[in-house]
Amino acid sequence: MAATSEKQNGSKAPPLPSPLRNSKFLQSNMRILISGGAGFIGSHLVDKLMENEKNEVVVADNYFTGSKENLKKWIGHPRFELIRHDVTEPLLLEVDRIYHLACPASPIFYKYNPVKTIKTNVMGTMNMLGLAKRVGARILLTSTSEVYGDPLIHPQPESYWGNVNPIGVRSCYDEGKRVAETLMFDYHRQHGIEIRIARIFNTYGPRMNIDDGRVVSNFIAQALRGEALTVQKPGTQTRSFCYVSDMVDGLIRLMEGNDTGPINIGNPGEFTMVELAETVKELINPSIEIKMVENTPDDPRQRKPDISKAKEVLGWEPKVKLREGLPLMEEDFRLRLNVPKN
């Protein structure tokens, strides 16, 4: 057609569109950025979002606690892109959705360089919000149950304002996330940005760093290496553990729903650390010891999400029980530690 009109009126026809225009990878109708997508939760979120052929996924990560290994099956895929990027620096991209996960999550890593942790939470969140504002993207922040600090209300509903030490060794993380939540709401009220806030409670599953320092990964690695399980004193402190596939499902529902949050996403099944150690011992290695070791300051004494809001607003509740999730994680740790099952 273009060639014919060129012949008829002598003018030059516009260039033909690229022949790739109609190929599958240019038909995506949702470009999604995941900051921190090379980490534990982020890489599972990538897997889930990539299942939808209409999604194009971009990961930005500085690999502080994450790794390319977690994303290796997607590297080279036409709908996937991986960028080495530190969120404390601005990022220019065109996207429709931003899942903002970038932040070290294990206490040993976030305490390792606390100034960097708070910069990641404050400057990183501002940069992601700036990006959302420039391109009109919807942004979801993965906040934490640590915004409730050492909670005086149990279980914790979203309306609870928390009991947080502003100057303690955990503050770079928990106060950092509180400021990140504040920034989200200020950008929402002042600039009309579409925001979503998830308050995530302890999540576990395959691909956690083996020497991550968090309790479930520590206990499973110790049980497989035949080392004593290190329960930090007093051992009566509680946590509620959510399997990662449930978490990813909750995050996507929150992003695609209509409520800004904050919404607690977690599994309300509550265990003391001694109970967790006993369960790991029973399921993985009944011959190992459990030993009590010193704890670190400001360790929350109890934690359990009230998930009424997630049930009502997102129609979400976790499906995987701790006793079902632990063996799935054990399988992954056995492969990576090269400890076959007898």
Query: Which residues contact ligand NAD by CB under 6 A?
Result: 35-36, 38-42, 61-66, 86-88, 101-105, 120, 124, 142, 144, 200, 202-203
CB of 305 to ligand UGA, least distance (A): 9
**Which partner from the list ligand UGA, ligand NAD, none does 121 bind, CB cut-off 5 to 8 Å by kind?**
none
**Cα–Cα separations (whole angstroms), residue 210 to 70, 144, 214, 284, 285:** 13, 22, 9, 16, 17
For residue 213, what are the CA distances in angstroms to 86, 108, 110, 150, 308?
23, 6, 11, 20, 30
**For ligand UGA, which is the closer residue by CB, 118 or 131?**
118
Q: Does 113 bind ligand UGA (CB under 6 A)?
A: no
The reply on whether position 209 binds ligand UGA by CB under 6 A is: no
Cα R_g (the chain), whole angstroms:
22
The binder of 172, among ligand NAD, ligand UGA, none, by C-beta within 5 to 8 A per type, is none
Interaction of residue 230 with ligand UGA, rule CB under 6 A: yes
Least distance (Å) from ligand UGA to the CB of residue 285?
15
Contact status: 272 vs ligand UGA (CB under 6 A): no
Report d(CA 173, CA 300) in Å as an integer: 13
Name which of 37 and 80 has its Cβ closer to ligand UGA: 37
- 173 catalytically annotated: yes
User: 28 near 55, Cβ under 8 Å?
Assistant: yes
Of residues 178, 188, 239, 253, which one binds ligand UGA by CB under 6 A?
239
Chain residues 116-175 in contact with ligand UGA, contact rule CB under 6 A = 144-146
Residue 168 buriedness (CB in 10 A; 0-12 / 13-18 / 19+)? middle
As given in the structure block, the two tokens for residue 184 are 């989200």
> Which of 99, 110, 148, 173 is an active site residue?
173
Q: Which of 201, 243, 271, 316 binds ligand UGA (CB under 6 A)?
A: 201
Using the minimum distance from each CB to ligand NAD, give the nearer residue, 28 or 113: 113
Answer for which of 70, 127, 202, 302 binds ligand UGA (CB under 6 A) is: 202
How far apart are CB 305 and ligand NAD at their closest, in Å? 11
Q: What whole-number distance in Å separates Cα of residue 160 and Cα of residue 315?
A: 22
Task: Give yes or no for residue 107 binding ligand UGA (CB under 6 A).
Answer: yes
Binding partner of residue 66 among ligand NAD, ligand UGA, none, CB cut-off 5 to 8 Å per kind: ligand NAD
Give the nearer residue to ligand NAD in terms of CB position, either 3 or 115: 115
**Any idea what the Cα angle at residue 337 is, between residues 333 and 341, rounded to 5°?**
70
- Least distance from ligand NAD to the Cβ atom of residue 63, Å: 5
Stretch binding ligand UGA (CB under 6 A), from 33-41, 92-100, 200-208, 280-288 = 200-208
**What is the smallest separation between the CB atom of 18 and ligand NAD, expressed in angstroms?**
32
Angle at 103 between CA 98 and CA 108, to 5 degrees: 160
Q: List residues binding ligand UGA (CB under 6 A).
A: 105-107, 144-146, 200-202, 214-215, 218, 230-232, 237, 239, 273, 295, 299
Which positions are annotated as active-site residues?
Answer: 173
